[in-house]
Amino acid sequence: MITEEIYNRYLANLLSGNKKECSKIVTDLLDRKVLIHNLYMHLFQKSMYEIGKLWENNRISVATEHMATSITEGLLNLVYPVIFSAEHLDKRIIISCVASEYHQLGGKMVADIFELNGWDAYFLGANTPSKELLKMIDEKKPDLLGLSMSLCSALLSLEETIKTVQSSISKLPIILGGQGFAGIGKELTDKYSNTIYFDSLDKLEKWLRDF
């Protein structure tokens, strides 16, 4: 349902900051009952990865990247009525971006995928200090913790967070995800026990169904 023509039109509008057109495209897809999984994977994630590459190669400015991220986050609001109407399984996950990681869109989309699969997903947002994270874990008693890292410049914060959490709650499984893990995901999961790295939403969702 998300054809190449639709994707290209969406990307062009996203890059030019045309929020109204992007919203129209997404609304139209939702009216045609697009699978939320497909919307997230083949429109939102795909376009944001492409925008990340364009920025990395200095083809677009950081301002354009911020604007595209902001528009995409706003579009998630259109999907929430579907996401939050799923039946719940009495399982909980806390998802957070580590301290000094300001890119929160990926983590938020993962939280939404968990909700869609019946979990109660608590999303803490960008730049969450370890102390605050521990407080939430103590309060919500989740079955899983998710940590998001979009830029590998936040690696030190990530490792500090894993160590802090595991010294308090060693049995809490931690899932890791985000573009910042490219090339180092396996290394980290070897270094820290009880951690799992997912390099795609697809693989995460498949694993989730068997959890």
Closest CA to 143 of 49, 211, 50, 71: 211
Closest CA to 18 of 89, 59, 67: 67
**Whether 42 contacts 7, CB under 8 Å:** yes
Q: Is there binding between residue 115 and another protein (CB under 8 A)? A: yes
Both structure tokens of 104? 């929160």
Q: Is there binding between residue 202 and another protein (CB under 8 A)? A: no
Q: Nearest approach, Cβ of 103 to another protein (angstroms)? A: 10
Q: Is there binding between residue 84 and another protein (CB under 8 A)? A: yes
**Whether 81 contacts 29, CB under 8 Å:** no
How many whole angstroms separate alpha carbon 25 and alpha carbon 31?
10
Q: Is there binding between residue 44 and another protein (CB under 8 A)? A: no
Q: Is there binding between residue 58 and another protein (CB under 8 A)? A: no
Identified binder of another protein from the candidate list 3, 57, 85, 170, rule CB under 8 A: 85
> If residue 123 lies in a helix (H) or strand (E), which one and from where to where?
strand 120-123
Q: Nearest approach, Cβ of 36 to another protein (angstroms)? A: 14
Binding segment toward another protein, per CB under 8 A, in 47-55, 69-77, 166-174, 186-194: 69-77
Q: Is there binding between residue 140 and another protein (CB under 8 A)? A: no
Q: Nearest approach, Cβ of 124 to another protein (angstroms)? A: 8
Q: Is there binding between residue 74 and another protein (CB under 8 A)? A: yes
DSSP string computed for 165-197: HHHH-TTS-EEEESGGGTTTHHHHHHHSTTEEE
Identified binder of another protein from the candidate list 81, 131, 182, 210, rule CB under 8 A: 81
Provide the binding-site residues for another protein, judged by CB under 8 A: 63, 66, 70, 73-74, 76-77, 80-81, 83-85, 102, 104, 108, 115, 123, 125-127
